[in-house]
Amino acid sequence: MKRFMAMLNRNKSKDPPPAKLLDLAAQLCRDHQSSSPSLEELVGTMMGCRHKMYFLTNIHVVRAFVSVHLRQGQHDTACRLLENCKAEEKEELVQLWHEIHYRKVMEKQQVDFLTPLQKFRCRKRNPPPLSLCPGGLKTRSYSDDVRRQLRSFATGVTANPDRKQREELAKDMNLQPAQVYNWFANYRRRQKS
């Protein structure tokens, strides 16, 4: 830690800071992950530094920042930090985004864990920003055209197609037969209710 502080003071005015400084910050964040006071001191130092955005290009530093903000109950600050960080590991950033919101819900409901359904609902209510998902969120739902064709078949021909009909529909719509089977099963279930 002393070595990092000395290197940080020596390179205050350098823009961008040397790679050695950034690597040392990442290593310290990894090493102090389980030591709360040390990690808070380290994160506090980096947050007050003019090179803060350079540090936030490393996933270990981002994780440390988020961890400290969560311990302090600063969920919104942690979310803003994720939205603006430049780390390359987008999948891990999305996971952190979800963890922040899980923690927020757990604290609000005063529980120690969430069920898979509660986590699903939490993810639906708090989708990650475009800065974390530049390609957009992956969705499992079908396009309007595919749904329209399936609905038309269900109402005009049958809501319970046989195997051959399902295979033809799948081929026509570029789907798997299992997807067509599941769509019709769900359709019949919705019609009953």
Q: What is the pLDDT of residues 20-50, one digit of tens each?
A: 988 988 898 888 888 778 888 888 888 888 8
Residues 31 and 109 in one domain: yes
Residues 107 and 30 in one domain: yes
Residues 128 and 74 in one domain: yes
- Section 176-190 average pLDDT: 91
Residues 67 and 37 in one domain: yes
Residues 6 and 85 in one domain: yes
The DSSP-derived string for 61-104 is HHHHHHHHHHHTT-HHHHHHHHHH---S-HHHHHHHHHHHHHHH
- Report how many domains make up the chain: 2
What domain range includes position 150? 144-192
Which pLDDT score is estimated for 135?
64
Residues 128 and 161 in one domain: no
128: left (phi over 0), alpha (psi -120 to 50) or beta: beta
Residues 127 and 172 in one domain: no
- Section 122-148 average pLDDT: 80
CATH of the domain at 150: 1.10.10.60
Q: What is the pLDDT of residues 59-113, one digit of tens each?
A: 999 999 999 999 889 999 999 989 888 888 888 899 999 999 999 999 999 999 9
Mean pLDDT of the chain: 88
Which pLDDT score is estimated for 140?
64
pTM above 0.85, yes or no: no
Confidence of residue 2 (pLDDT cuts 50, 70, 90): confident
Residues 109 and 16 in one domain: yes
Residues 124 and 69 in one domain: yes
Residues 127 and 64 in one domain: yes
